[in-house]
Amino acid sequence: MFTPGIYTDAHIAGWKKVADRVHQAGGYLFIQLMHAGRMSHPENTPHHRQPVAPSAIAPKAQMFTATGMQDIPVPRELSLEDVKATVEDFRKAAAAAIQAGGDGVEIHGANGYLIHPFISENANVRADQYGGSIENRARFAIEVATAGAEEIGAERTGIRVSPGVPLGDLVEGDKGPEVYKYLVSELAKLTSLIFMSCMAAMKRRFVKFARLGRLCLSLIVRAALWRNSTETLIQDLQISHL
């Protein structure tokens, strides 16, 4: 609801106006690509369809709609064909962002939206190649990032993650840190992937993850910083941007 799209000619034309103004002011525009996944409600979409997710498990949360707050319904589990089609949707959206004059994209893999539940053990109970093991739980995020990098160039592609952040009623579990460690190592193989935008969670886990991410990728840190950690983040971790 109230979220701009980037999948029609009209969307592209609208974003072109934004990109032109940003460039006229000497700036750069990276368009965020987001699929809400299960953090949605039929009333908030033009097609009024059931939300989708890695598994048919609803978050214990409510969603604002035009008729007020409502419980988020049980989502439809994505089939293997749906998963592949969604990867291609991200690919097409990345291409559309560049066509609209954007300088790059940020893939939203955080905050409970579609990519994030694939990583989380309480929202992903799949028994196929997208669930269970560390490698499988990271697979969808890697495929989406790879598709974007292939389509528009890794130097124009970034991904946002939120390790340890329980938004969207998500629990990453004991394997969560290992999933992110594996995810970073695989993203690093896209040698010029431009950045990883990380939303901070618990201090100890975040600093550990930030060190790992900084070894492999340019790292942007946003939100929930601790005053006594800022110098560490800038000097020790050599954070690209705060």
In terms of Cα–Cα distance, which of 25, 125, 28, 34 is closest to 75?
125
Model confidence at 222, pLDDT cuts 50, 70, 90, reads low
What is the average per-residue pLDDT within 213-236?
57
pLDDT, tens only, 64-91:
998 999 999 999 999 999 999 999 999 9
Strands (E), the chain: 30-33, 52-53, 62-65, 68-71, 76-77, 104-108, 157-161, 195-199, 219-222
Residues 144, 165: Cα–Cα separation, whole Å: 21
Model confidence at 204, pLDDT cuts 50, 70, 90, reads low
The tokens describing 168, both together, are: 């969207």
Model confidence at 177, pLDDT cuts 50, 70, 90, reads confident
Residue 2 lies in a domain: no
- Answer yes or no: are the C-beta atoms of 114 and 53 closer than 8 Å: yes
Percent of the chain with pLDDT over 70: 80
Q: What is the pLDDT of residue 231?
A: 60
Residue 63 lies in a domain: yes
Residue 82 lies in a domain: yes
Q: What is the pLDDT of residue 227?
A: 57
Residues 156, 166: Cα–Cα separation, whole Å: 29
Above 80 in pLDDT, residue 214?
Answer: no
Model confidence at 185, pLDDT cuts 50, 70, 90, reads confident
- Helical packing angle, 80-99 and 134-152, nearest 10°: 30
Residue 242 lies in a domain: no
Residue 192 lies in a domain: yes
pLDDT, tens only, 2-20:
789 999 999 999 999 999 9
Q: What is the pLDDT of residue 169?
A: 95
Residue 3 lies in a domain: no
pLDDT, tens only, 123-174:
999 999 999 999 999 999 999 999 999 999 999 999 998 888 888 999 999 9
CATH number at residue 222: 3.20.20.70
190-204 core/surface letters (b: 16 or more CB in 10 A; e: else): beebbbbbbbbbeee
Residue 208 lies in a domain: yes
Contacts of residue 17, Cβ cutoff 8 Å, sequence gap at least 6: none
pLDDT, tens only, 22-47:
999 999 999 999 999 999 999 998 88
* pTM, 2 dp: 0.88
Model confidence at 103, pLDDT cuts 50, 70, 90, reads very high
| Enzyme catalytic residues | 113
Residue 107 lies in a domain: yes
Q: What is the pLDDT of residue 237?
A: 52
Instruction: Identify the domain containing residue 140 by its residue range.
Output: 9-237
Overall domain count for the chain: 1
Unique residue bearing structure tokens 């006229």: 24
Residues 105, 93: Cα–Cα separation, whole Å: 9
